[in-house]
Structure 1
Amino acid sequence: MADVEMDSPADAPLLGENERQHEPIPGDDEAVPRVLKAARWQVKTPKAAVRMFAFLEFMIVFSGMLLMMPVYRLIEDTVCHVSYGDDSLDIIDEMKCKTDDVQARMAYLLGWLGLFNSIMSLLTTFPFGMLADKIGRKPTALLAYGGMIMGAISGPLLLGVGQYALRKNPYLLMIGSLFLLVGGGVPVTLAMLFAMAADVSSEKEKAASFLQLTFGATAGGLAGPLLTGFLMEKFSPWVPVIAACSIFPFILVLFCFIPETLPVDKTKKMGDNDMSVTAIKQQIATSLADLREALALLKNPSIPLVLLTFLFQAARFTAYTSTIVQYVSTYFGWRLAETTFLLSPFGLLNLTVLAVLPKISEILMSPRFGYSSFGKDLFLTRYSTVLLFVGAMIEGFSRNIYFFIMGLFVETFGAAASPLARATITHYVEPEFVSRLYALVSTSEMIGSFIAGPVLAWCFDQGLQKKGIWIGLPWFYIALLSMITWIALLFVRPPPAKKVPADENGEDEPMNPHED
């Protein structure tokens, strides 16, 4: 079963600032060509390439969201059959499955499935990131997407033809996560698209390019649940599953229209020195050296303080994808299909927030407010984290759907905390160290998976058992993590001011000092 995660604008580039594919145009300060080296049927300009990457992001996330809710419903039905001792293959009425026993079992199952999926991602992301530097972005993306398709199909296949086996051991669904070993799955696929966007964009254009890709992913996250809810309400969970599977070949065809963006030497043969055992050992030694250098960045205390945002990101993602669906369905009596209609408007609100953030940044950096680039990013990160805390607290205390929606509304305005934190932390390193910093960020996010799914499942189970105020425990947990993050951000200090070359008097002058 594929676990689709939508990253924020700057959440994705694991591979960073690598070499360009083309020679610079004379007089082009950004050293980015206007025409890409591509086949005649492929996109040829950087802008067209970025739009194609964004469309691929949309289609991948859209198809993933088509699968997510019906697969949850089918898992719930499987657990429900076990709870009732029903050996039939018919789907049990959903509202009969909202018992505490069924929902507790399902919560733990989803929690451990998410954790196992994250472990597989942790094991595969960096090796396939290295492979992309060796063989190119596009073949790595195709390999990763192939693994994603196999993982995505395995879940519904087991739920369809392996029902009796799953009822004896539902954790057989973890088999789907093993397909991450084939290319790295969704995380590597999306990371490759962001890396390709970085390859074809100038330093000035990268933020806008990443925003386009994020819009594509967020739009897919908005449209997918809407269509899923409609199809599940009108037909059955299997209809959106079939619709999602029918999109996979179309996405593979779209990959044909994008060129390779990283230059690789295809003339070398397998017997060349670069493919020898010695070269592989050297590559491993180089990777270990890069890891040591990345860890050296932690000597600046502000960097680990900002990294807490990413450490807790997995818990927030799990809470607002799987936990929230189960929570609303269990405590407010909504069918899973109906929860998609509830959550979709907040996807639109998230798009709006992303769209207005650049304008807010301009206002904060205007003479009226006088924030530096770093000061503005840190301020917005702190503000967003406070909104995450307030929203989670409202959700935790809510005992009717209206107050819960109010909490979701507040939380959505803080949903950009992760990309804002990435923008903040990037100020502490020079461009040549950004890739290593991104590696630390990605590692923090994956380690955070251990305090995400299983802990939230335990919190949900405690709410089912103890009732009362304990019902909101999953959201109080998210509020606690947000509060810890906010307190850490209060101790973040600005990086040292950069200096311009010595003036005619031979003295260095500070350049654009960062403000807190």
Structure 2
Amino acid sequence: MASSKARHTTVTAREYAGSDETTPLLPSSTPIPKLISKASPRTLIILVIVVILLASCGDQLMESPQTRIFESVICYRYYEATDPSKLLVGREAVGPGAIGGVAEMWCKVSPVQSKVASLRGWQFTLEGIPSLLLALPAGWAADTIGRKPVAILGLLAFPLRAAWMQLVTFFWQAFDVRMSWISAVFASIGGGSTALTSVMYVIVSDITTEANRANVFVLLSGFNLLAALFMPPLAALLMETNPWIACLAGTCLQLLAIPTFLFFPETLNYNHSPPPPIVPEPTTAPHGNHADSPAPPPGFWRALPTRSKNATAFLTRDWRILALTAPFPFLFLGGNATQLLIQYVSARYEIKLSKAILITTIRMIVVTIILFAGLPLLSKLLLRKYAFSPRRKDLNLGRLSLLFGALGWILCGFAPTIPVVIVALTISALGVGSVPMLRSFITSIVEKQHIARVYAIITVLDTLGGMAGSPVMAKLFSRGFALGGYWTGLPFYFLGSMTGACAVLIFGVNLRKGEDVCAVQDSEEEEEEAREEEVPTV
């Protein structure tokens, strides 16, 4: 896109203050006009994709190996106390993270797996507390200060969190593994990972049109899941040598995301024209007192409740906004259930963790195909052949995705064999479109100045879902394994049931009068506008 240019002739306050009746109205030398350049949406989206790939690849590369290291430490301490004959190496010779201290096959017993699930579940809950407290302030900061500072702080939290967990497990004989929970402190930087995700979506909504927004959201989700497709098999391969290799490599990738994002411009006023020059009014201030600061507005704190009420009034004007945000806690919980899913497959079918990673990667393959081919083609079909408006298309695809997700998770819990669980994971993958489609629909019915706040609310709900849901899923996992049989899939029965209930709720949300008129014309006009802006489509 060609850069926009603005030419301003300004008179500074200092020059004005020193003028009198004989001073010329224009300054003797006009300042050189400032050119305001704006990068094209295509360039910015590509840069966002690069940053997301670096952060996600780092996270996916280290997540399963870190779980294996936690399992190794807990397993070593368990057999040290109950059956020392299972120990291959003594404490004085065992390496960092107790790797090689006990054969992995002995670590699939219920006491060890329950402790691993509980450790990870509570860690997620504790990391969610700062995210919960800071999500709305982060949204406010993104709406007022800018998107870029919030995003940079969020990116910084990732490698700090990883480094602390690696420190605790590296010196496992000096630290209790529960000390890894202190990583929650780093979630307070930038509002945590959920706030970072929210800001990234806000940035994309700043630079895309309504017709193209859902496709770009799908594109971002697709590239994010590419990391989940390729990194776990790489991690599994590295784990055969040593899980520490994958952990340290993942931290390095997350560090690279920070300097990469420094090249990104601020998008807060991306589609707004620059403000006109301000020429100060003459004042009668005493001589030599031109720099005095204005007094703070009276009654600020008394007016704060009213301002807060006004800032969230849009939520009560349209009940659909709150209804549409209801599925996000469970969608977030399902999206972050990968480690529990890997642990479930490994323990239920008694296979090594590295092989369980390869089985769950099949789901990522299906997800990637859907995001890069299935959803874009189906979206184009609905828009062009069936004359759906972008809003109707997003709403209906969101509903359908929720139904597939609910069915897939319930079948995953039921699956008695590995082939059945592969089919279940494939069906659950068909629900991946719910997040981008519902986000796009919400964005289309919310006023632009409220978008970051709505995304902040989604962040809060995501965090609440993770905080409350992770311990519940861990407890259901332990209880299911204790009961045995089909009860083993208890956490996935819960997840599928909640997703199904949300699908029923979303079927009650409909378009209002005037929101679905001229569907074909509006879609074609916005697609033409998107092509002019050179926004990449999928």
- What amino acid maps onto 2:156 in structure 1? G
After superposition, give the CA deviation of every residue in 1:69-89 in whole Å (9 maximum; x if it has no partner).
111111111221232236724
After superposition, give the CA deviation of every residue in 1:251-284 in whole Å (9 maximum; x if it has no partner).
333234333334699xxxxx99699798996996
One of 24, 43, 49 as aligned partner of 1:48: 43
Alignment of 1:92-107 (within 5 A): 92-107=102-117
- Indicate if the aligned counterparts of 1:498 and 1:511 stay in contact, CA closer than 8 A: no
One of 76, 98, 112 as aligned partner of 2:122: 112
One of 477, 480, 484 as aligned partner of 2:494: 477
Deviation at 1:219, TM superposition (A): 1.5
Alignment of 1:109-508 (within 5 A): 109-166=119-176, 170-233=177-240, 235-262=241-268, 288-289=308-309, 291-297=311-317, 300=319, 302-319=320-337, 321-355=338-372, 356-366=374-384, 369-498=386-515
Distance 2:269 2:303 in 1: 18
Pair 1:373–1:47, CA change in 2 (3 A) = closer
Pair 1:210–1:489, CA change in 2 (3 A) = closer
Deviates more, 1:334-343 or 1:53-62: 334-343
- Indicate if the aligned counterparts of 2:136 and 2:453 stay in contact, CA closer than 8 A: no
Pair 1:192–1:397, CA change in 2 (3 A) = closer
Partner residue, 1:75: 70
Deviation at 1:376, TM superposition (A): 2.8
Distance 2:47 2:150 in 1: 17
Q: Give aligned pairs, total.
A: 456
After superposition, give the CA deviation of every residue in 1:339-379 in whole Å (9 maximum; x if it has no partner).
22222232232122112213212323445x45444433332
Distance 1:200 1:282 in 2: 37
Partner residue, 2:11: none
Question: SS at 1:243's partner residue?
Answer: helix
Distance 2:295 2:210 in 1: 33
Distance 1:72 1:294 in 2: 42
Distance 1:277 1:140 in 2: 27
Question: SS at 1:486's partner residue?
Answer: helix
Pair 1:192–1:37, CA change in 2 (3 A) = farther
Pair 1:463–1:64, CA change in 2 (3 A) = same
Deviates more, 1:102-111 or 1:487-496: 487-496
Pair 1:117–1:239, CA change in 2 (3 A) = same
Deviation at 1:23, TM superposition (A): 5.0
Pair 1:280–1:194, CA change in 2 (3 A) = farther
- Indicate if the aligned counterparts of 1:120 and 1:181 stay in contact, CA closer than 8 A: yes
* Identity value in percent: 25
Larger Rg: 2
- Indicate if the aligned counterparts of 1:309 and 1:421 stay in contact, CA closer than 8 A: no
Deviation at 1:458, TM superposition (A): 1.5
Distance 2:295 2:182 in 1: 32
Distance 1:212 1:410 in 2: 20
Partner residue, 1:4: none
Distance 2:331 2:57 in 1: 21
Pair 1:387–1:36, CA change in 2 (3 A) = farther
Distance 2:418 2:303 in 1: 54
After superposition, give the CA deviation of every residue in 1:365-423 in whole Å (9 maximum; x if it has no partner).
445x4544443333222221221122122212211111000100111111211222233
- Indicate if the aligned counterparts of 2:397 and 2:437 stay in contact, CA closer than 8 A: yes
- Indicate if the aligned counterparts of 1:198 and 1:206 stay in contact, CA closer than 8 A: yes
Pair 1:69–1:396, CA change in 2 (3 A) = same
Deviation at 1:512, TM superposition (A): 5.1
Deviation at 1:156, TM superposition (A): 0.7
Pair 1:111–1:274, CA change in 2 (3 A) = farther
TM-score, normalised on structure 2?
0.76
Distance 2:406 2:256 in 1: 41
Deviation at 1:426, TM superposition (A): 4.1
TM-score, normalised on structure 1?
0.79
Pair 1:498–1:70, CA change in 2 (3 A) = closer
- Indicate if the aligned counterparts of 1:386 and 1:483 stay in contact, CA closer than 8 A: yes
Distance 2:295 2:123 in 1: 36
- What amino acid maps onto 1:221 in structure 2? A
Distance 2:110 2:4 in 1: 63
Check if 1:59 corresponds to 2:59: no
- Indicate if the aligned counterparts of 1:155 and 1:173 stay in contact, CA closer than 8 A: yes
Distance 2:303 2:257 in 1: 33
Partner residue, 1:7: none
Question: SS at 2:264's partner residue?
Answer: coil
Pair 1:276–1:322, CA change in 2 (3 A) = farther
Question: SS at 1:312's partner residue?
Answer: helix
- Indicate if the aligned counterparts of 1:137 and 1:192 stay in contact, CA closer than 8 A: yes
Pair 1:133–1:315, CA change in 2 (3 A) = closer
Deviation at 1:291, TM superposition (A): 4.8
Distance 1:423 1:200 in 2: 13
Distance 1:400 1:274 in 2: 72
Deviation at 1:51, TM superposition (A): 0.6
Report the aligned-residue RMSD.
3.3
Distance 1:218 1:275 in 2: 51
- Indicate if the aligned counterparts of 1:295 and 1:440 stay in contact, CA closer than 8 A: no
- Indicate if the aligned counterparts of 2:139 and 2:455 stay in contact, CA closer than 8 A: no
- Indicate if the aligned counterparts of 2:363 and 2:429 stay in contact, CA closer than 8 A: yes
Deviates more, 1:284-293 or 1:321-330: 284-293
- Indicate if the aligned counterparts of 2:62 and 2:246 stay in contact, CA closer than 8 A: yes
